[in-house]
Amino acid sequence: MPVGRVIGCDFAGTVVAHPAGPSLWKPGQRVAGFVMDGALDLTGGRVCGVPHEAAASLGVGFATAMMGLFLRLGLPEPPSALEGDDAKAAEAAEGKEQPVVLINGASTSVGLYAVQLARLAGIRVIATASPRMHALVRELGADVVLDYADADWPAQAARAAGPALRQAFDCVSEVGTARATAAALAAAADVRGGDGAERGHLLCILPRSQADLEGDVSQKVRLETTVAFSVFGRPIQHLTYDNQGGPTPRDREFWERYLRKLTGWLESGEIRPNPVRVFGGLEDVLDGFREGMEGKVRGEKLVYRVAPASV
């Protein structure tokens, strides 16, 4: 990591002051979210009743899951997230075939939030995770949980989901995981048959490309990438992802709307923050990175305190 590089963007804390004039925030409010390049006008939402340490996991992970499922993959949103005409349209669409989504890496930070949001939306969830995380992933809402270490898990996922499987969210997004997830989508497309016009839709959270898919799978599956920082509405020029390069007002509108709903979901327990492990203060960040590189951080987020716990 080059000297001077700023890392990290998720946070949680208590508002101590705000600029003069109208503001969404008041001193004493507990808030959480994430920031990029000084985009402080849309930092996050209120998290009453949630400890700072747990709330610190709500930023990039929640935003990526929300945007991935509902904006990029186009899956139906939770009824409680809709407002105005969108809510009326959702009521009119009730009774249609239950949508299904495959979430690969469901015990990752993004994956755990994706499972919960999909459950809220009434989406059937086929998930992959390591065996020790299966119970948590099921508890949060997955209908079927498979062991990602099984070589044939893509075939298992396709059988469990059936021909209705058209969307998949790869929350790991290495080349190998993207290919495996795409294989499940391709198998479902084969069951659907037809002329191949209805391809599967694979979303990755790292900068993968269509060229990463092999053989005829590439003809049956469309690969797209997403990054959470587009929720600030600003052009992002220095990241190699789809849907970037210009302003992203629709992404921002989605994020603003979900921030308005997040407080209620946290209070009702419909959304639970990810498991966390407090790892000391800022002086311990490099040690945390080492643990991550050594594979010692699984199914949890490392959190660092920058002020006494009582603040």
Most trustworthy range by pLDDT among 32-41, 65-74, 285-294: 65-74
DSSP helix/strand/coil, 124: strand
In this prediction, residue 241 carries a pLDDT of 84
What are 100's two structure tokens?
A: 């299904």
Separation CA 186–CA 217 (nearest Å): 6
Predicted confidence band at 189 (pLDDT cuts at 50, 70, 90)?
A: very high
Separation CA 111–CA 128 (nearest Å): 9
Annotate 150-181 with b (16+ C-beta within 10 A) or e (fewer): eeebbebbbbbbeeebbbbbbbbbeeebbbbb
**How do residues 98-127 score in pLDDT, each as one tens digit?**
999 999 999 999 999 999 999 999 999 999
Range of lowest pLDDT (24-33, 67-76, 143-152): 24-33
Separation CA 272–CA 50 (nearest Å): 9
In this prediction, residue 135 carries a pLDDT of 97
What are 123's two structure tokens?
A: 């989406």
Q: Where do the domains of the chain lie, and which CATH numbers do they carry? A: 10-59+253-305 (3.90.180.10), 64-228 (3.40.50.720)
In this prediction, residue 311 carries a pLDDT of 45
Instruction: List, in sequence order, every residue forming a beta bridge with 147; answer none if it has no partner.
Output: 129
